[in-house]
């Protein structure tokens, strides 16, 4: 699997000052801070029309790679996958990738295992570790157990470190609601520092509660359970679609990336990352950004303003910010050391595309210490309004490099410092 396409000589000359190696014609439009708006002065609802502007995925050209800042090297870790959406790096270094699709009729519904024995950022081997699942996403190794968060529940399997195929039958330890319009089918799972609690993200069944709140039971939440699935409680609520979750380095504070609601205009509602307060309510569907009432809930919304928590950091409306990972080991140098990286899957409800990149948020003392900035770009086709090469989602770190899942491009990329 270790094969790296050669690039045209003239392109290498143009890029000689940069270690990342994009393929031909892969440059985002000039970066702009316009999507990182002043969240305390948001435009009113419907200030712009609600657009339907899905991207057109054209795939990656031969040798095509995303673009990282100078000093980083981008490689194709693995290709020819089937909607690789999420990545989990086990304690022993094994790399698990969940391959699943929103369209259940074409979803691979499997977990593949990759190994990179020489740690050069390119996979040496791939095996099918586990299959015949129902839209898997989150994965976790804890002791002698392998957990998988599927759309309808969390399954626990007996596991031995280093095994290449799962042959045992799993036990569903937690049922999860899987109804709704299925855009929020993804379920992530992580553990706490003590290893005695699991946190499971469950997105909403609708855009803005239009199916009625009875359909949202146990949804738009982060749930906390024991390792056997017992003792369930709602850790945080009113979070429309929390997918990426991680603990801020040096703290016991959970952070999540949240994909916010649609159909209020180009710049509403901002997606965000936020620290998660135990028992906290973040407004969905009644309010947003801590102090604005969603006009679709004009009657009920005002009574929720006093309890709605304002998120910590807005990262652009309709960016579909789904992935989140901290550089816990301080692998990346300088200004990138110890920060948060967010995979933005990209918009469909904005007149001009937003997202389609991995952004970086600097952190200090457990909090954002600066504005978000572009980190991995080139997913959009230069000069095209809606064409994209792929759509980044999951972000993970090995001890040697970062990994990014491009589900639409059926590829995993690595970024080496």
Q: What structural domains does the chain harbor?
A: 18-416 (2.120.10.30)
Q: Which helix (H) or strand (E) covers residue 270, if one does?
A: strand 270-275
Q: Who's near 140: CB < 8 A, 6+ residues apart?
A: 88, 146, 147, 189, 190, 191, 198
Question: What pLDDT, on a 0 to 100 scale, did the predictor assign at position 340?
Answer: 98
User: How many alpha carbons fall within 13 Å on the CB side of residue 368?
Assistant: 19
Query: Per-residue pLDDT averaged across 406-417, rounded?
Result: 98
- For a pLDDT cut of 70, what percent of the chain falls above it? 90
* Mean pLDDT to the nearest integer, 107-114: 98
**Average pLDDT of the residues in 251-258:** 97
Q: What is the pLDDT of residue 39?
A: 56
Share of the chain above pLDDT 90, in %: 88
Q: Which has more confidence, 4 or 115? A: 115
Please state, in angstroms and rounded to a whole number, the distance separating the CA atoms of residues 151 and 136.
6
Q: How many CB atoms lie within 10 A of CB 35?
A: 24
- DSSP lists the bridge partners of residue 88 as 96
Question: What is the C-alpha separation between 318 and 349, in angstroms, rounded?
Answer: 6
pLDDT of residue 69: 97
Separation between Cα atoms, residue 81 and residue 409, nearest integer Å: 9
Q: Which long-range contacts (CB under 8 A, 24 or more apart) does 156-163 make?
A: 156/228, 156/229, 157/130, 161/90, 161/91, 161/92, 162/92, 162/94
Q: Tell me what the pLDDT averaged over the chain comes to.
A: 91
User: What's the rounded Cα separation, in Å, for the pair 395 and 407?
Assistant: 12
**Phi, psi (degrees; rounded to nearest 5) at 395:** -130, 135
Host H or E run for residue 175: strand 171-175
Strands 198-202 and 221-225: antiparallel
DSSP state of 363: E
In the structure encoding, which two tokens stand for residue 87, read together? 């990545």
Rg, the chain, Cα only: 20
Which range is least confidently modeled, 4-18, 270-284, 322-336, 361-375?
Answer: 4-18
Distance CA 73, CA 77 (A): 12
Residues 228-232: what's their mean pLDDT?
98
Q: Is the pLDDT of residue 11 over 50?
A: no
Helices (H), 208-268: none
Number of H helices, E strands in the chain: 1, 31
pLDDT tens-digit readout, 295-320: 999 999 999 999 999 999 999 999 99
pLDDT at residue 104, as a whole number: 87
First CA to last CA distance, the chain? 22
What are the tokens at 317? 């409306």
Among the ranges given (6-20, 129-143, 301-315), the one the predictor scored with the smallest mean pLDDT: 6-20
What does the alpha-carbon distance between residue 372 and residue 340 come to, in Å, rounded to a whole number? 9
Please answer whether residues 363 and 249 qualify as being in contact, where contact means their C-beta atoms are separated by less than 8 angstroms: yes
Over residues 164-186, the pLDDT tens digits come to 999 999 999 999 999 888 889 99
Has this prediction a pTM greater than 0.85?
Answer: yes
Asked if pLDDT for residue 4 goes beyond 60, the answer is no
Q: Can you list the positions of beta strands (E) in 1-151?
A: 56-57, 73-78, 84-89, 95-99, 110-115, 125-130, 136-142, 145-150
Whether residue 324 has pLDDT greater than 80? yes
Q: In terms of Cα–Cα distance, which of 383, 355, 388, 357 is closest to 68?
A: 357
Distance CA 346, CA 54 (A): 9
pLDDT for position 348:
97
DSSP state of 399: S
Lowest-confidence segment of 35-39, 169-173, 207-211, 265-269 by average pLDDT: 35-39
Q: Hey, which residues does 149 pair with through a beta bridge? A: 138, 154
Q: Distance between CA atoms of 255 and 244, rounded to whole angstroms?
A: 8
Q: What is the pLDDT at residue 274?
A: 98
What does the pLDDT read at residue 23? Answer: 36
Neighbours of 87 (CB within 10 A): 26
- What angle (nearest 5°) sits at the alpha carbon of residue 92, between those of residues 412 and 162? 95
């Amino acid at each position: 699997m270790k094969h790296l396409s050669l690039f045209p000589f003239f392109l290498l000359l143009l890029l000689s000052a940069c270690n990342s190696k994009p393929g031909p014609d892969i440059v985002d439009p000039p970066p702009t801070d316009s999507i990182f708006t002043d969240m305390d002065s948001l435009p009113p609802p419907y200030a712009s029309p609600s657009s339907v502007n899905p991207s057109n995925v054209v795939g990656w050209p031969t040798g095509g790679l995303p673009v990282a800042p100078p000093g980083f090297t981008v490689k194709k870790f693995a290709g020819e996958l089937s909607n690789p959406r999420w990545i989990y790096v086990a304690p022993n270094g094994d790399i698990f990738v969940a391959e699943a699709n929103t369209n259940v009729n074409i979803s691979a519904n499997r977990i593949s295992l990759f190994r990179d024995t020489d740690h050069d950022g390119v996979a040496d081997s791939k095996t099918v570790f586990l299959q015949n699942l129902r839209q898997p996403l989150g994965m976790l190794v804890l002791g002698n157990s392998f957990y998988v968060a599927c759309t309808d529940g969390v399954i626990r399997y007996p596991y031995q470190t280093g095994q290449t195929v799962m042959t045992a039958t799993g036990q569903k330890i937690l049922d999860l609601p899987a109804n709704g319009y299925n855009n929020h089918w993804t379920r992530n799972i992580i553990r706490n520092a003590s290893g005695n609690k699991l946190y499971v993200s469950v997105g909403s069944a609708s855009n803005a509660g239009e199916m009625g709140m009875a359909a949202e039971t146990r949804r738009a939440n982060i749930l906390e359970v024991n390792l056997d699935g017992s003792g369930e409680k709602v850790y945080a609520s009113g979070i429309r679609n929390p997918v990426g979750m991680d603990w801020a380095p040096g703290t016991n504070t959970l952070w999540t990336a949240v994909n916010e609601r649609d159909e209020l205009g180009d710049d509403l509602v901002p997606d965000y990352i936020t620290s998660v307060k135990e028992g906290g309510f973040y407004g969905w569907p009644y309010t947003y950004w801590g102090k604005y009432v969603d006009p679709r809930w004009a009657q009920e919304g005002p009574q929720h303003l006093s309890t709605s928590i304002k998120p910590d950091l807005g990262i652009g409306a309709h960016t579909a910010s789904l992935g989140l990972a901290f550089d816990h080991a301080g692998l990346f140098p300088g200004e990138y050391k110890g920060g948060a990286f967010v995979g933005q899957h990209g918009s469909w409800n904005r007149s001009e595309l937003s997202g389609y990149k991995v952004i970086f948020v600097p952190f200090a003392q457990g909090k954002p210490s600066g504005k978000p900035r572009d980190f991995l770009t080139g997913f959009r086709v230069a000069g095209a309004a809606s064409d994209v090469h792929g759509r980044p989602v999951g972000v993970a770190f090995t001890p040697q490099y970062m990994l990014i899942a491009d589900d639409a491009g059926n590829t995993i990329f690595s970024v080496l410092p």
